[in-house]
Amino acid sequence: MCGIAGIFQTSEGGADWTTDVKSMTDAIAHRGPDGEGFHVEPGLALGHRRLAVIDPAGGHQPMYNEDGSVAIVFNGEIYNFEAIRQELTRLGHVFRNRCDTETIVHAWESWGPDCVQRLAGMFAFALWDRTRRVLFCARDRLGKKPLYYACEDGRFVFGSEIAALAALPGMSRRIRPQAVDDFFAYGYVPEPGTIFDAVHKLPAASTLVVDRSGRPPDIRRYWQPTERSIGQVGASTMAEAVPQLQQRLRGAVACRLVSDVPLGAFLSGGVDSSAVVACAAPMLDHPLDTFTIGFDGEEDETPYAAQVAERYGTRQHNDRAASTDMIAAARLQAAVFGEPFGDSSSVPTLTVCRLARRHATVAISGDGGDEVFGGYRRYRWHRLVCGVRDHLPAGLRRHAIGRLAALYPKLDRLPRFMRAKHTLTELSLDAAEGYARTVTRGHAAQRHALFSPSLRASLDGHDPFAPLRAVMQDAHEADPVLQAQLADLATWLPGDILTKVDRASMAASLEVRAPFLDHDLVNWGLSLPASLKIGPGGGKHVLKRALEPMLPNDVLYRPKQGFTSDLAPLFRREAERLKAVLLGPVMLQSGLFDARAVEALLDQHASGASDHAQLIWLLLAFEGFLAMLQAIPAALPASEPASQAA
């Protein structure tokens, strides 16, 4: 696991960017504390920071082919590299080491851009081919590893984090107004955009080719988890699915245990991380190190993690996140993520990554289990609402039920099933619009009320959820559960979950691997009928049945818990401090927010009349981002003030 960066001149010429690329890699040194390397030639500079995991002695980057005409900087792990290496050896390629990086170089020589189709793993890389005179970039299918890029002043620049690009003199920091709206809708800025006008994310499962013709980068998607590509690769009954899932999950775990450095596992006490530990521990000839973070109150899962650790004889390591100052922690998010990021579980995630790094360099996690096997409550809810919606005439839904929803009082503090306003509103919408409303952090009226008039005017009808609805409409023939899963795989998974884990783990110089996101396992899981995903006891029906021989029932069948602390009471206790931060100069000088609306929101929450904890956290995360921008003018010289974005 590493950090990569580079600069490519998109016109003929010979600029020397040695100093600039060194500044870029220095900005992401936490991703690779074990070494650095560079390839520089006229008009090109590639940089690499290394976290040594496979072949520590021989895996230095950039790495080359036999004659040095192809160079690569690579971030990630290729789990099937040995099989690819054998095939390439038969084709006549000569390997100098046993590192997976070199496999990509020779795969490119033989198969060109199609080489990514053969790679199983998590990756982001940039490859320069001097003979073809192209720079080729690629990102893994699910988006586990990031790649940011910008095209400015006749150059294409890229890096593993925004911080690498921000280190370049002259890089614009103009805030994109639509990205502000996106952030308060999703809680993150979805790909391919970022908070900045000039900077973009290469989407998951995509390749990018840029040459010196002056044309824009050619971006193509090479994999799509759609209903058509999934096909009939799964099982139709529980009896068929259980043994297949057990075999597939063990295989996905086994290939992620290969490491030349200490390896451990996250163990939250939930189903997914427990499943990974249950598969991994028996495969090792030594006790597996496991890492658990505890919380005060109902969210604490440490007793269940302890059960699993004892059953499998792991070396259990515990820490607690109870005393975290969440208001101060919001400021840290900007430094870790480089742009606003609103998932508060990133705070304990960083804590568990730091705990793990004290004992291991690699950790395996349960990320992806919910998305692949239908674990989120919202999947069950979406299925239920769609079932009711299908029996109601469209006119009745849109008009009568829509009017009733508008009149019904808003009761935020009641359990969801008693909040009829939400239910009626979702019934009045179509499936895609209803699901977008389910996953949003802030509905349009809520978030726009917080924006300044100038920011609202600059949005010009922007719809943050148009991409999500497009995915769901493309899958209109799918069952509602699969429809929602595909939407999450396109938005929530790469934008929130995988971004959170990558940045938190890399901030601690830790590699994290996710067996549930093996792309073959993903396709298989998505292909299962909804009845195997959601059963009488809730989501992940088939997964829980497959794990019954391996895990206690009270781990498998208790209510799902989150990996976070309860922010609502904290924000009521800290009402005055919140006002000092969110109505302070950083927010007011940005020109992006309406101070009176923000104050009203804080007062409503403090009084207990409403629960605005989610929006308050987003405001705190955004304030931290703005504060970071003000603190680093030299690293991010502004071509225009951030406030001009509104």
> What sign results for the dihedral spanned by CA atoms 422, 423, 424, 427?
positive
Q: Would you call 2 a catalytic residue per the annotation?
A: yes
Question: DSSP 3-state assignment of 509?
Answer: coil
Between the alpha carbon of residue 459 and those of residues 178, 196, 356, 445, 645, the distances in Å are 6, 15, 42, 13, 10
Residue 541, CA atoms < 13 Å, CB-side half-sphere: 18
| Own/partner pairs, 520-523, CB within 8 angstroms, 24+ separation | 520/120, 520/248, 520/252, 521/248, 521/249, 521/252, 521/372, 522/141, 522/142, 522/225, 522/368, 522/372, 522/489, 523/225, 523/229, 523/230, 523/231, 523/233
Catalytic residue among 2, 137, 279, 353: 2
First vs last C-alpha separation in the chain: 38
**536/520 Cα distance (integer angstroms):** 27
Phi/psi of residue 45, nearest 5 degrees = -145, 125
- Contact criterion met (CB below 8 Å) for 6 and 21: yes
Question: DSSP 3-state assignment of 511?
Answer: strand
Q: Residue 168 gets which letter from DSSP? A: S
- To the nearest 10°, report the CA torsion of 247, 249, 254, 256: 160
Closest CA to 155 of 60, 21, 259: 21
**368/146 Cα distance (integer angstroms):** 17
Q: What number of residues does the chain have? A: 646
Token output for 397: 């839904």
Place of tokens 């920011």: 455
**33/24 Cα distance (integer angstroms):** 14
- Contact criterion met (CB below 8 Å) for 291 and 351: no
**605/572 Cα distance (integer angstroms):** 7
**175/624 Cα distance (integer angstroms):** 14
Token output for 246: 């057990």
Residue 320, CA atoms < 13 Å, CB-side half-sphere: 7
- Contact criterion met (CB below 8 Å) for 582 and 598: yes
CA-based angle 344:417:436, to the nearest 5? 55
**287/332 Cα distance (integer angstroms):** 34
- Contact criterion met (CB below 8 Å) for 510 and 265: no
Between the alpha carbon of residue 486 and those of residues 138, 189, 228, 454, the distances in Å are 21, 18, 12, 35
Active-site annotation, residues? 2
